[in-house]
A and B are shown apart, each in its own frame.
Chain A
Amino acid sequence: CSGYEKILKSKDNELKYSKALMYYDKGDFYRASLLLEQILPIYRGTNRADTVNFYYAYSQYGQGDYLLASSYFDTFRKNYPKSSFTEQSEYLYGYCFYLTSPRPELDQENTNFAIEAFQEFLSRYPNSKKAEEAKNLITELFNKLEEKSYKSAWLYYHTENYKAAIVALGNSIKDYPNSKHREELMFLIQKSAFLYAENSIATKQKERYQATEDYYFNFIAEYPQSENLVEAKKMHETALKALKN
């Protein structure tokens, strides 16, 4: 341990460089990063600059500080576009955001950053060994956004804000047309519209029942086998009855 302290205090940059690489290879990213940080300005503009910078970024990644690492990988890919580490940096840049992307209930800023980064990676390195993995991760992240949109809209339905639910559920379908919740979303729009009409004052009721009809027909046309069909039909019949009066 005291040996490491000595290296830290030493003025011998070559020694620091070689020891940093040694710690890095051993997976001791904390020690490696402290040494690399010291020699970063020394090796700027030299043939070791890209190595030192990449290893430094990776040391942050290795220590689990993904947000810091992502910003270093970002700087790296911009500063050293021709380095042998560039492709890896571009991938890890996105991967850091992937790792910090939180559950759908929270702010999805990092999810969006990750998707953007992976898409950039794919357009730059379409034949990369990591391409397949990047594609899978994009899908996974996209599903998260889809889930968030669905949950936000569902909340309006759940809290009986039916007017808001109709708009929000509709927006969710518009934004994620291939959502795995599509069937439920369409059904809930009809149901929200129906409950909105049912709880309206008499003068507005007719017009609002009328509005449910479109949602009903859209739903049964797309999902004629839906398990919600019975309930949808029932609401449709009630609406029809109300409209006849």
Chain B
Amino acid sequence: QGSDSLSIKKDMDYATPQKYIVGGVTITGLRFLDAQTLVNLFGVDEGETIMVPGDAISKGIKKLWKQGLFSDINVVVVNVVGDTAFFNIDLVERPRVSNIAYTGVKKSEQESLKEKMTLRVGDQLTEYLLSNASNTIKKFYGEKGYRNVSIALDQANDTVIANGVRVTFNVDRKKKVKISEINIDGNVAISDGKLRRKMKKTHRKDWNIFKSAKFVAASYEDDKENIITYYNEKGYRDAKIVSDSIYNVNEKRIGINIKVYEGPKYYFRNISWVGNTKYPAEFLSAVLKMKKGDVYDKTLLEKRLSTDENSVSTLYMDDGYLFFNIEPTEVRVENDSIDLEMRIYEGKQATINNVIIVGNTKTNEHVIRREVWTKPGELFSKSDIMRTNRELAQLGHFDPEKMNVIPMPNQADGTVDLKYILEEKPNDQLEVSGGWGANMFVGTIGIRFTNFSARRIFEKGAWRPVPSGDSQSLSLRAQTNGSYYKAYSLSFVEPWLGGKRPTSLSVSLYHTVQNNSSYLYQSSSQYMKVSGVSVGIGRRLKKPDNYFTLQNELNFQNYNLSNWNGFLFNDGNANIISLKTTFGRNSVDQPIYPRRGSNFSISVQATPPYSLFNNKDYTDKTMPGSERYKFIEYHKWSFRSQYYSQLAGDLVLATNMQFGYLGYYNRDLGYSPFEGFDLGGDGMSGYNLYGKETVGLRGYENGSLTPYNLEKGIRVGNIFNKFSAEIRYPLVLSPSSTIYALTFIEGGNAWYNFTDFSPFTIKRSAGIGLRLFLPMLGQLGIDWGYGFDEVKNSPSAGGSHFHFVIGMPF
């Protein structure tokens, strides 16, 4: 078209930008794509005034590149008429990936490999992307120990999709490669074995099948660091790895050579402090707990300065000094002695301004905010933040591993905003189960909502699936064997009654019916009905410290019998009215996999002492049971303590101590037939007529340690104690599941009479187990225990036993 005068083909001159009116944009080089769409996409319109060269054109080119459809894009000014310019975009279309296939990749591996692959159907086919994809596959297998993977690539034109290419990765993963030897050279002060043990993930193949001997490059780098860190901890601050190499032993085995330089061992000499105005040097030295002559351990120094719970920086950080900074500087090194100068920048004290909470997509903000210890107007405090994290984790609505707090300081006015970032996790539990109990099959259906909101019951759209957000817990449960046994229960807990203070209200109702009917809804004249209600108020205390709680609970229970055998009497009512007070302290860091903290409680439950004032003669053996037990009386004492400590990393020691005693007011009436203890076995409370408390003791048959009272012909313990120690190690810690392995030793015993009580004649056991925690199902577990001691009159009680655990027994 450009005919007469100006038919120039001029590349853009980047030196002198000039204004032009766009006369038109054309496209050449297309084979499959539509020109008009691409012109629109280019975004430079006819009639528009633009700078050449300039923004508009480079933006357009970027947009075209972003499509990933072209291997070359060239914009040329083809014609200029006066101040009007005509443009042409010359494109080279690139073939696209229309299908990706694998051979030699196991089905089970395909899914996780696909997730890692960045190459997608529809991508342009470039050498770069293909080699990237091959590398991803190599890395994927490398992490699994296949170091000699070979990949052959097939490309074939797609017969259906124009310009499409079908890509096939033919993978041969070859044999798994393991490490057969790790040779360490140059070390004198620390043995090879010790250094090898410091390598956490890189191991030689040996007898220990739990230690993987595969070679993973990233972990190998970490493990080299670990060696140096260990040297540093021992005072060898100059230690380094001089060289390291990997060699092939054979096609299945590799070896590693590491050469270290140890250097001299150093000690601290003088430690001085500069820049401190708030605390004197002597005080800071005392907090540091490191002195002249100590081994120069950089890791410990770092801990004492920053990361420990009672470190120097925590001292400042708990008092608002958010901008606090400390720089330990080596001011003099003489022979093996080092003088340190601690250079401190204290900065201004920061006051908290805004507390921002994000990530709560289900839980109402006030439920979270009321647990937050860092409050506007208070000084910044690191310990308060940690406490808040603990309490928020305790709520159970958020993933504790993903919680985060970001301080956003404003140096100008000395304030800081704190942003708590949370991630909700599913927390409701459904229980559908069936099991044998009291010689019958009992089906159970139950559901437990832990983030219920009663006030939203009538709100439109709140039932998704139930009104939620107020952290109330609601559980409903129904059990039946299909004919003569039915049980229902409901319980509800509001953690902050009235929203002003953490005073909890709990209400529970239950009703159990046993009769002689042969189908579910048949009514019957022979029955035993047990109904009860209890209401409790719990408070968080401020003294002795604010981890303490006090709970008061009023219980009413009624046994109503008609023509029924197998109870204390056949017709009539028995009633229990009791008040229970529990005093406890809980500082456990999180509920599902606690690592540190303790939990103890002591409680007293008592009924009124009717026998003291009702003028009944209980020595009268002819008194009918319905008269004797019209109002049951007892007092019951329990104590329990749990203590968690971190042994190393995630390895946790949990110790547990328990004691219980059921006493009576009236010698003639004696021990109450209700509320005793049942010791031994898995600790799962099943069907139980007299409200006995089930206490587990692994390695023994269920209930086998409960004494049998010959005189009364009943099996019940009125006093018991139990000790256990458990070491736990997590295998999986994620919101979708927590799995840990455990090994335990425990011991305990139960007696009928208080006078027989002898706390150290216990039945002992030891064993191992596994626990699995799933969000919808709660806890599941299996333990194997071995009971060492013989139980009188019950030869099969001890020995080897498997126990299944469902739910979370306290």
Known: A47-B34, A159-B370, A171-B354. A107 touches B499 (CB 8 A): no
Across the interface, name the chain A residue whose C-beta is closest to B162.
Answer: A42
Across the interface, name the chain A residue whose C-beta is closest to B97.
Answer: A41
Contact flags A61-102 to B (C-beta < 8 A → 1, else 0): 000000000000000000111110000000000000000001
Residue among B41, B369, B378 making CB contact with A152, cutoff 8 Å:
B369
CA distance A168 to B353 in the complex (A): 8
B286 interface residue, CB < 8 Å from A?
no
Asked whether A82 lies within 8 Å of B40 as measured between CB atoms, the reply is yes
CA distance A45 to B40 in the complex (A): 10
Asked whether B365 lies within 8 Å of A166 as measured between CB atoms, the reply is no
Separation in Å of the B333 CB from the closest CB of chain A? 49
Separation in Å of the B503 CB from the closest CB of chain A? 12
A7 interface residue, CB < 8 Å from B?
no
User: Chain B residues with Cβ under 8 A from A167's Cβ?
Assistant: 352-353, 376-377
Separation in Å of the A111 CB from the closest CB of chain B? 12
Residue among B33, B45, B364 making CB contact with A105, cutoff 8 Å:
B364
How many residue-residue contacts, CB under 8 A, span A and B? 95
Asked whether A106 lies within 8 Å of B365 as measured between CB atoms, the reply is yes
Asked whether B38 lies within 8 Å of A164 as measured between CB atoms, the reply is no
Separation in Å of the A39 CB from the closest CB of chain B? 11
Contact flags A30-74 to B (C-beta < 8 A → 1, else 0): 000000000011101111111000000000000000000000000
User: Chain A residues with Cβ under 8 A from B377's Cβ?
Assistant: 163-164, 166-168
Contact flags A112-125 to B (C-beta < 8 A → 1, else 0): 00000000000000
> CB within 8 Å of B: which of A120-174?
148, 151-152, 155-156, 158-161, 163-164, 166-168, 171
Known: A156-B376, A163-B378, A166-B377. A11 touches B160 (CB 8 A): yes
Separation in Å of the B27 CB from the closest CB of chain A? 11
Chain A interface, number of residues (Cβ within 8 angstroms): 36
Separation in Å of the B31 CB from the closest CB of chain A? 11
CA distance A40 to B160 in the complex (A): 15
Asked whether B40 lies within 8 Å of A83 as measured between CB atoms, the reply is yes
A109 interface residue, CB < 8 Å from B?
yes
CA distance A42 to B363 in the complex (A): 44
Residue among A41, A106, A156, A159 making CB contact with B362, cutoff 8 Å:
A106
Contact flags B394-411 to A (C-beta < 8 A → 1, else 0): 000000000000000000
User: Chain B residues with Cβ under 8 A from A102's Cβ?
Assistant: 361
> CB within 8 Å of A: which of B345-381?
352-355, 357-366, 369-370, 375-378
Asked whether A159 lies within 8 Å of B376 as measured between CB atoms, the reply is no
Across the interface, name the chain A residue whose C-beta is closest to B374.
Answer: A164
Separation in Å of the B87 CB from the closest CB of chain A? 16
Known: A83-B40, A106-B365, A171-B353. A46 touches B33 (CB 8 A): yes
Separation in Å of the B159 CB from the closest CB of chain A? 10
Asked whether A163 lies within 8 Å of B375 as measured between CB atoms, the reply is yes
CA distance A107 to B38 in the complex (A): 41
CA distance A158 to B161 in the complex (A): 66
B71 interface residue, CB < 8 Å from A?
no
User: Chain A residues with Cβ under 8 A from B364's Cβ?
Assistant: 105-106
Across the interface, name the chain A residue whose C-beta is closest to B358.
Answer: A107
Size class of the contact patch on chain B: 35 or more
B183 interface residue, CB < 8 Å from A?
no
User: Chain A residues with Cβ under 8 A from B375's Cβ?
Assistant: 156, 161, 163-164
Main secondary structure of the interface of A (DSSP, over half): loop
Across the interface, name the chain A residue whose C-beta is closest to B36.
Answer: A47
CA distance A47 to B352 in the complex (A): 56
Asked whether B376 lies within 8 Å of A164 as measured between CB atoms, the reply is yes
B434 interface residue, CB < 8 Å from A?
no
Contact flags A168-185 to B (C-beta < 8 A → 1, else 0): 100100000000000000
Across the interface, name the chain B residue whose C-beta is closest to A105.
Answer: B364
B447 interface residue, CB < 8 Å from A?
no
B307 interface residue, CB < 8 Å from A?
no
CA distance A107 to B368 in the complex (A): 12
B121 interface residue, CB < 8 Å from A?
yes
CA distance A80 to B37 in the complex (A): 9
CA distance A49 to B33 in the complex (A): 10
Asked whether A41 lies within 8 Å of B366 as measured between CB atoms, the reply is no
Across the interface, name the chain A residue whose C-beta is closest to B456.
Answer: A103
User: Chain A residues with Cβ under 8 A from B365's Cβ?
Assistant: 105-106, 148, 151-152
Residue among A45, A155, A156, A160 making CB contact with B33, cutoff 8 Å:
A45
Asked whether B376 lies within 8 Å of A155 as measured between CB atoms, the reply is no
Residue among B43, B361, B378 making CB contact with A107, cutoff 8 Å:
B361
Contact flags A1-45 to B (C-beta < 8 A → 1, else 0): 000000000010000000000000000000000000000111011
User: Chain B residues with Cβ under 8 A from A83's Cβ?
Assistant: 40
CA distance A107 to B419 in the complex (A): 12
Across the interface, name the chain B residue whose C-beta is closest to A153.
Answer: B376
Contact flags B600-618 to A (C-beta < 8 A → 1, else 0): 0000000000000000000
Known: A44-B69, A82-B40. A105 touches B469 (CB 8 A): yes
B501 interface residue, CB < 8 Å from A?
yes
Separation in Å of the A45 CB from the closest CB of chain B? 4
Asked whether B360 lies within 8 Å of A106 as measured between CB atoms, the reply is yes
B543 interface residue, CB < 8 Å from A?
no
User: Chain A residues with Cβ under 8 A from B38's Cβ?
Assistant: 45
CA distance A11 to B34 in the complex (A): 21
Asked whether B37 lies within 8 Å of A45 as measured between CB atoms, the reply is yes
Across the interface, name the chain B residue whose C-beta is closest to A83.
Answer: B40
Known: A45-B69, A81-B43. A155 touches B37 (CB 8 A): no
CA distance A161 to B372 in the complex (A): 12
Contact flags B454-486 to A (C-beta < 8 A → 1, else 0): 000000000000000100000000000000000
B234 interface residue, CB < 8 Å from A?
no
30 A-B pairs within 8 Å (CB atoms) are namely A11-B160, A44-B67, A44-B69, A45-B34, A46-B33, A47-B34, A47-B36, A47-B37, A79-B63, A79-B66, A81-B43, A102-B361, A105-B364, A105-B366, A106-B360, A106-B364, A107-B357, A107-B359, A107-B360, A109-B358, A151-B365, A155-B369, A159-B499, A159-B500, A160-B500, A163-B378, A164-B375, A167-B376, A168-B377, A171-B376
Given contacts A49-B37, A50-B37, 9 further A-B contacts (CB under 8 A): A41-B96, A46-B37, A79-B41, A105-B364, A105-B365, A106-B365, A107-B360, A156-B376, A166-B377
The 7 closest A-B pairs by CB, nearest first: A167-B376, A41-B122, A164-B375, A105-B364, A45-B33, A167-B377, A47-B34
